[in-house]
Copies of this chain bind each other. A is one copy, B any other.
Amino acid sequence: MSLSLPNPFQSWFEKLASRSTLGGQEREAILRLPGHATQVQSNRDIVHLGERVDHASLVVSGLIGRFGQNSEGQRQIIAVHIGGDMADLHSVVAPDAASALQALSVTTILKVPHSALREVARRYPAIAEAFWRESVVDAAVLAEWVVNVGRRDARTRAAHLLCEMACRYEATDSDLGLSFDFPATQVHLADMMALTAVHVNRTLKALRDDGLANVRKRTVHILDWNGIVAAGEFDPTYLQIAKPANDNGSRLEARPRSLQVGST
C-alpha cells in the first residue's frame, strides 16, 4: 500500500512532471510551496458558490466534488478530485468561483496561496506552462463527462465512470487499479452521472450481477477489467496519464479503441 501521503506536493509534482518537462529547480520550487492543512467533514463546502478565493486546494486524502450551479434543487457534480489533485488550480486566474467545491467524505486538503502559485509560475515559465496544461487536461476530462452524461445510457455511464476512477487511482498508486476506496454515496454517484439515486442502485446491481464490478460500502472492486472497459466504451487516452516505465506495473490494460497517443 506504500506509506501514503509522503509529501502532498511530491505527488502533485510527479503528476505535473508526467505531463510537462520540469527540471530540478522547478521541482524544488513546487516542493517548497507553502500550504495550510485543513480537514473538512463530509458534505461540507470547501469553496462556496460565488466566493472569491485567494488559495487553491490540494487534496491530500479523501474525495472532493465540484458542483455545478443547481437551479431548483437539482445538483450536478461536474468533476471529482482525489488525493494528489489540485482541485481548483484554475482559481489562480479566475478567483471568483463559478461552482462550489464540496467534500464527499472526510477530506484533508492543503490550502496553497494563489500568491505563491503565481510567484512560481512567474519565475519559472515551464511551471506556468505546466499549470496551463493541467487546466487543459481538466477540461478534457470535463469534455468526456459531457459525452458520458449526454450520450451513454446508465449502464455504460456507470462503467465508464468506474473505469475513469480506476485509472486515476492507479496513477497515484499502482496497487489501486482493481480495488480502491471511493467514498461516494449512491446519491453522490447519481449527481456525477446525472441519474437518480434509485437508478444508480439498479445500475450498480446490474454491473454486480454481470460480474463486472462490485461497488459496495464505498469501496469499488473491479471484477472484470476487460469486461467493464467494453461495457463503458472506455478509452483512457483523454486522461493523459503517462504509462509507468515498467509496463507490468499496471494491472490495467489500456485498450484504446480508435486513437493512440503519439509516442515520438
Say if the beta carbon of A49 comes within 8 Å of chain B.
yes
Say if the beta carbon of A142 comes within 8 Å of chain B.
yes
Which partner residue on chain B sits nearest A48 by CB separation? B259
Among A74-113, those with CB < 8 Å from B are 74-76, 78-79, 90, 93-94, 96, 98-99
- Chain B contacts of A52 at CB under 8 A? 262
Q: Are the C-beta atoms of A136 and B135 separated by less than 8 Å?
A: yes
Say if the beta carbon of A46 comes within 8 Å of chain B.
no
Supposing A139-B90, A143-B99, A259-B49 touch, asked if A70 and B133 sit within 8 A by C-beta, the answer is no
Segment touching B, from A2-10, A24-32, A145-153, A213-221: A145-153
Chain A residues bordering chain B, tally (CB within 8 A)? 56
Say if the beta carbon of A194 comes within 8 Å of chain B.
yes
Say if the beta carbon of A210 comes within 8 Å of chain B.
no
Q: Are the C-beta atoms of B136 and A94 separated by less than 8 Å?
A: yes
Say if the beta carbon of A257 comes within 8 Å of chain B.
yes
Q: Are the C-beta atoms of B144 and A143 separated by less than 8 Å?
A: no
- Chain B contacts of A248 at CB under 8 A? none
Q: Are the C-beta atoms of B76 and A147 separated by less than 8 Å?
A: yes
Q: Are the C-beta atoms of B98 and A140 separated by less than 8 Å?
A: yes
- Chain B contacts of A132 at CB under 8 A? 93, 128, 131-132, 135
Determine which of B72, B138, B150 lies in contact with A139 in the assembled complex, contact meaning CB atoms within 8 Å: B138
Supposing A71-B257, A122-B125, A150-B76 touch, asked if A93 and B136 sit within 8 A by C-beta, the answer is yes
Determine which of B68, B136, B257, B261 lies in contact with A146 in the assembled complex, contact meaning CB atoms within 8 Å: B68
Say if the beta carbon of A172 comes within 8 Å of chain B.
no
Cα A66 to Cα B146 with chains together (Å): 12
- Chain B contacts of A68 at CB under 8 A? 143-144, 146-147, 150-151
Given A132-B132, A146-B149, output 10 extra A-B contacts at Cβ < 8 Å: A66-B143, A68-B147, A93-B133, A94-B133, A94-B136, A94-B240, A121-B129, A125-B125, A135-B139, A150-B150
